[in-house]
Chains A and B, each alone.
Chain A
């Protein structure tokens, strides 16, 4: 390994160092501020190090890791999200009747896992990355276990995630083993249906498809695509908000980047059976996600179902990743993921800002009249929700447009029709939240009376402690609106990034 190659790994090394320093700092003296600052600083440095790394050009660092523009783009996305979550977590965690420091350690470790996934073109690194991310997430989900008031079921959520995640890993590994038996390689680029056909006649095509489908099931579980989505709402609801946010953003980006690399580098999509299966998964996710979100009153559950639908939209673009040199699929996938991250971070960010570990505002009634109580937060939340619904002036609209364009290119008419229906259904529940925020703040928030009245339940004031989270929300709003109005720059960036793929 040359020094140049080490330099290429600089962002990962910096994140790894950050976790070590955080750990040492904790062992010397526990301090919430210090842990948060060290982590934030480390992530920021890693983000800045991309400026040094980017000009070095694409290279394979050992056969296990591939550092190219694609990896660097997703590295930036993951680091940015982690940094935002770290900053948002501070006021949330401040009131926890327990040690807060290890949460930041877990954020660092999970981020490292995500970075490994974004750079892997090999099943070994893919699996290592997935496990690093998942194991850290178990801890994050169950984090507030000792507190008196907060999350109702962090333990249930964590165990559920642990068991089902382990099962999906088993599927994934079994599929990988079968592919290995078939092709004798763990490199993505050597996976191709023709291998099976040439090496052995007859049953091996079915054998290959079965193996590939098992791998896909592993991916689909982590991306919470239907019918592998059953864990999603419970885990989202049970986890503390920052962990939910992390799961919904970094967890999804890293997995989607990995899947995208896998699908564009391997020639899996040449198989009609796999294509059909993925199409069904996509359509099912869109319909299931949107329909089940309709009547949710818990915003975490609602956003979890909506994320299922969004991953379904993403799959439409993903299916076109591989159709030709001029293909728009990869760009559309990249753009939609970026949009998804911005809006999800923003929506959860608002919830985190008005919540703390002792009292999470995750019921739709908590947000009644927010427009008149805190116009700023309501503006951000509304913008994020409208973006999720795909309304113009937001990045979500351009993302949806891009996916449409990719779908038209791939002639995926059935999936596009599902997307139209799904989006129409989706409007209903996003608008319900927006409408709730527009209602007068003084009328009864909840007929059953289980929510406290607004006078007894003031929103946190903007002060020194949560100044940074508000700044994060501001940046997210800018990241939502600017590419929504002038998307040219981001499109060109993604175009050059994706040109190196496949």
Chain B
């Protein structure tokens, strides 16, 4: 029940936050804070008390529950939490609090509705991470889109209509392809076993002929690679990121992209191992192209948020690379990248958002010399840029390094090309720091007069994320040992 409570807390918290606006304009954020803290508490309790149930498949599921939902199609409310899901739930609730901190002062209008959307997006993400019925999974997959659309469309920046619509159409169209593939699987089950099934474990046992497997795998891949995103399906992301409010960017970069990666790990490869193995060179090449091409594009941007958005696509390339290498190092690397990038990208977007709030611009060329004006923020920007470019000792390094090790074992030349991305990452990261924070104070920045440095709330948020990255960097084993049995089992099952 605990996992279900997690979703209920967020859904109900959202409704309460909206309703509480009637009492006071500042009430919604308090309600949101309380329900997020409660959710975090639930996850921590799961983390602390949970132990894998020996009778669950593979003896690795902490929680595994099933209720009837739509009998006509044998659809169940089936949820499960294993080590992989649990860490992602931790990331979700943690970043939910970070997003709340980002929104705390920035969102001034229609607060109730904003926090409603924030919590419902999180509820959708939580649902995605724990659903084991493919219909339920798709249900949550779509649920999280609408509140995200609303966040961009209502509280976004100047070009929000275009960005929000593009975001929605891309992900929804890809989602329909995914739905078709899921339905085809359920129908195959009907043909082979005599009844429909959307059950993850039952579908895993289906025997699918290779040509059909290829088509279905491609359907899943398109659905997830659009969300990840991977080249050539990435073009919605820079628009959505640059127009979203800071909290929206935090959710998008920190969580929504990760649902795509999760889908690839949990569903695409395990359900279609042969087809995925055939497709691996293409997918890995796409990953490498994402890394290099988007790093190059990032370097050409003048809009700070757009730049960070392209770096996100670039870093997600390592995730594709690691997953399709399909060995333990690659998968662990992909997973660590998911976690670490969730924190570093969220922090960088908060910095960009903080700069915009203070100077009303995102243009790198009118910024300059901010180290003198905002020493605290500059230090944080340096820390998280260095983390993002893969400095040893921080989480991102562990992830990307492991992903490259994994990929090197299967496709040497693709890995060699992809590794060049690390150099490009250093180039654009340091270039941004130099442009924005070093040198003399630019006239526009000077004209803004005295602006406040980091507030106490911002300090707490940045410190928490920095601590997380350091922890991942110096003691990755505490995460890896959680996911290793899960990933090992996935590998074994698909051999």
Q: At the interface, yes or no: A57 with Cβ under 8 Å from chain B?
A: no
CB < 8 Å: which of A372, A408, A420, A438 contacts B153?
A: A438
In the complex, the answer to whether B184 meets A427 with C-beta atoms within 8 Å is no
Q: Tell me if B168 is interfacial: C-beta within 8 Å of chain A.
A: yes
List the A residue with the shortest CB-CB distance to B142: A392
- Give the interface centre of B72, B145, B146 by most chain A CB atoms within 10 Å: B72
- A409 CA / B153 CA spacing, docked (Å): 38
| Interface check A293, CB cutoff 8 A | no
- Interface of chain B residues 130 through 159 with chain A (CB within 8 A): 135, 138-139, 142-143, 145-146, 149-150, 153-154
- Contact in complex: A391, B146 (CB < 8 Å): yes
Cβ contact of A416, chosen from B72, B180, B186, cutoff 8 A: B180
State which of A392, A420, A435, A488 has its C-beta within 8 Å of the C-beta of B69: A488
List residues of chain B with CB within 8 A of the CB of A486: 69-70
Contact residues in B for A432 (Cβ distance below 8 Å): 165
Bound together, the chains give a CA A425 to CA B154 distance in angstroms of 22
Q: Known contacts being A420-B177, A435-B153, is A405 close to B183, with CB within 8 Å? A: yes
CA distance A205 to B153 in the complex (A): 57
B183 adjacent to A431 (CB under 8 Å): no
Task: Type the 1/0 row for A461-502, where 1 means its CB is closer than 8 Å to any CB of B.
Answer: 000000000000000000000000011100110010000000
Distance in angstroms from A473 CB to nearest chain B CB is: 20
A397 CA to B138 CA in the complex, in Å? Answer: 11
Our pick among A420, A428, A488 for the contact of B72 (Cβ within 8 Å) is A488
Hey, which chain B residues are within 8 Å of A424, CB to CB?
Answer: 169, 172-173, 176
A427 touches B169 (CB 8 A): yes
B57 located at the interface, meaning its Cβ lies under 8 Å from any Cβ of chain A in the complex:
no
Q: Could you tell me the distance between the alpha carbons of A409 and B169 in the complex, rounded to whole angstroms?
A: 27
CB of A304 within 8 Å of the partner chain: no
Asked whether A420 lies within 8 Å of B161 as measured between CB atoms, the reply is: no
**Contact between chains at B179 and A404 (CB < 8 Å):** yes
Are B70 and A491 closer than 8 Å at their CB atoms? yes
Query: CB-CB < 8 A to B149: which residues of A?
Result: 431
Interface positions of A from 59 to 115, Cβ below 8 Å from B: none
Q: CB distance A423 to B183 under 8 Å?
A: no
Contact of B70 with A386 in the complex, beta carbons under 8 Å: no
* Size category of the binding interface on chain B: 20 to 34
Taking CB atoms, residues of chain B closer than 8 Å to A428 are 165, 169
A393 contacts the other chain (CB 8 A): yes
Chain B interface main SS type:
helix
Is there a chain A Cβ closer than 8 Å to B471's Cβ?
no
Interface presence of A401 (CB below 8 A): yes
In the complex, the answer to whether B179 meets A435 with C-beta atoms within 8 Å is no
Q: How many residues of A contact B (CB 8 A)?
A: 30
Are A405 and B187 also in contact (CB < 8 A) when A424-B173, A427-B172, A492-B72 are?
yes
Report the bound CA distance from A435 to B151 in whole Å: 11
Chain B residues whose CB sits within 8 angstroms of the CB of A421 once the complex forms: 173
CA distance A479 to B330 in the complex (A): 48
Per the 8 Å Cβ criterion, residues 411-463 of A in contact with B are: 416, 419-421, 423-424, 427-428, 431-432, 435, 438
Query: Is B73 part of the binding interface, using a Cβ–Cβ cutoff of 8 Å?
Result: yes
- Neighbouring A residues of B187 by C-beta, 8 Å: 405, 408-409
Contact B184 A408 (CB under 8 A): yes
Q: Is the CB of B164 within 8 A of A488?
A: no
| B54 lies within 8 A of chain A by Cβ | no
- Using Cβ atoms and an 8 Å threshold, which residues of chain B touch A495? 72
Contact check, B142 vs A404: say whether CB atoms are below 8 A apart.
no
Q: Assuming the A-B contacts A423-B173, A424-B172, A495-B72, are A431 and B165 also in contact, with contact meaning beta carbons closer than 8 angstroms in the complex?
A: yes
Instruction: Give the distance in Å from the alpha carbon of A419 to the alpha carbon of B71 in the complex.
Output: 26
Q: Is the CB of B172 within 8 A of A423?
A: yes
Q: Give the complex CA separation of A73 and B380 in angstroms.
A: 65
Please give the distance in Å from B61's CB to the nearest CB on chain A.
Answer: 26
Q: How far is the CB of B71 from chain A (nearest CB, A)?
A: 6
A401 touches B172 (CB 8 A): no
Q: Which B residues touch A431, using CB under 8 A?
A: 149, 164-165, 168-169
> From A494, which residue of chain B is reached at the shortest CB distance?
B72
Q: Which residues of the other chain, B, contact A491 by a CB distance below 8 angstroms?
A: 70, 72
A392:B143 contact, CB within 8 angstroms: yes
Establish whether residues B180 and A408, one from each chain, have CB atoms under 8 Å apart when the complex forms: yes
* CB closest residue in chain A, given B166: A428
Checking B70, B142, B154, B176 against A487 with a beta-carbon cut-off of 8 angstroms, the contacting residue is B70
- Are A438 and B168 within 8 A (Cβ)? no
Q: What is the distance, in angstroms, from B161's C-beta to the closest C-beta of chain A?
A: 6
- Cα A435 to Cα B154 in complex, Å, equals 8
- With most chain A CB atoms within 10 A of its CB, the pick from B145, B146, B186 is B146
Give chain A nearest CB distance to B222 CB in angstroms: 11
Q: Which residue of A lies closest to B141 (CB)?
A: A392
- Whose C-beta in chain A lies nearest to the C-beta of B113? A371
> Which residues of A in the span 369-411 have a Cβ within 8 Å of any Cβ on B?
372, 386, 389, 391-393, 397, 401, 404-405, 408-409
A424→B222 CA distance, assembly (Å): 14
**Contact in complex: B154, A420 (CB < 8 Å):** no
Chain B residues in 8 Å Cβ range of A423: 172-173, 176
User: What's the minimum C-beta distance from B25 to chain A, rounded to whole angstroms?
Assistant: 15
Kindly report which residue of chain A lies nearest to residue B165, judged by CB atoms.
Answer: A431
Q: A435–B161 contact, CB under 8 A? A: yes
Q: Write out the residue numbers on chain A whose beta carbons fall within 8 Å of the beta carbon of B135.
A: 401
A491 to B142, CA, bound (A): 22
Distance A432 CA – B71 CA, assembled complex (angstroms) = 36
Whether A393 and B172, one on each chain, are in contact in the complex, defined by CB atoms closer than 8 angstroms, is no
Interface digits, B164-204 against A, CB 8 Å rule (1 contact, 0 not)?
A: 11001100110011011001101100000000000000000
Which residue of chain B is the closest to A393 with respect to CB atoms? B143
Chain A residues lying within 8 Å of B138, measured Cβ to Cβ, are: 392
- In the assembled complex, the Cα of A423 lies from the Cα of B142 at a distance in Å of 14
Query: Who on chain A is nearest to B191 by CB?
Result: A409
* Interchain CA distance A232-B183 in the complex, whole Å: 33
Q: Out of B73, B146, B165, name the residue touching A435 (CB < 8 Å).
A: B165
Known: A424-B169, A435-B165. Is A488-B179 also a contact (CB below 8 A)?
A: no
In the complex, what residues of A have CB within 8 A of residue B180's CB?
404, 408, 416, 420
A408:B173 contact, CB within 8 angstroms? no
* B-side contacts of A408, CB under 8 Å: 180, 183-184, 187
Nearest residue, chain B, Cβ from A409 = B187
Q: Which residues of B contact A419 (CB under 8 A)?
A: 176
B162 to nearest A CB, angstroms? Answer: 10
- With CB as the reference atom, state the residue of chain B lying closest to A398: B70
The CA-CA distance from A405 to B75 in the complex, in Å, is 13
Asked if residues B183 and A404 are in contact (CB atoms below 8 Å), the reply is yes
CA distance A389 to B176 in the complex (A): 12
Residues of B within 8 A of A404 (CB): 179-180, 183
Contact with A along B61-88 (1 / 0, CB 8 A): 0000000011111000000000000000
Which of B70, B165, B176, B183 is the most central at the interface, judged by chain A CB atoms within 10 Å of its CB? Answer: B176
Contact with A along B342-374 (1 / 0, CB 8 A): 000000000000000000000000000000000
Docked complex Cα distance between A437 and B103 (Å): 23
Whether A438 pairs with B150 at a CB distance below 8 angstroms is: yes
In this complex, what residue of B is CB-closest to A416? B180
Check A420–B173 contact: CB distance below 8 A.
Answer: yes
Contacting residues, chain A, for B177 (C-beta < 8 A): 420
Q: What chain B residues lie within 8 Å of A409 (beta carbons)? A: 187
Would A392 and B139 count as touching, CB distance under 8 A?
yes
A392: which B residues are within 8 A, CB to CB?
A: 138-139, 142-143
B169 touches A488 (CB 8 A): no
Q: List 5 A-B contacts (CB under 8 A).
A: A428-B165, A428-B169, A432-B165, A491-B70, A495-B72
Q: Which 3 A-B pairs have the closest CB atoms?
A: A424-B173, A491-B72, A420-B176
Q: Identify 19 new A-B residue pairs, CB closer than 8 A, beyond the known A427-B172, A435-B153.
A: A392-B142, A405-B183, A408-B180, A408-B183, A419-B176, A420-B176, A423-B172, A423-B176, A427-B168, A427-B169, A431-B168, A431-B169, A432-B165, A435-B161, A487-B70, A487-B72, A488-B72, A491-B70, A492-B72
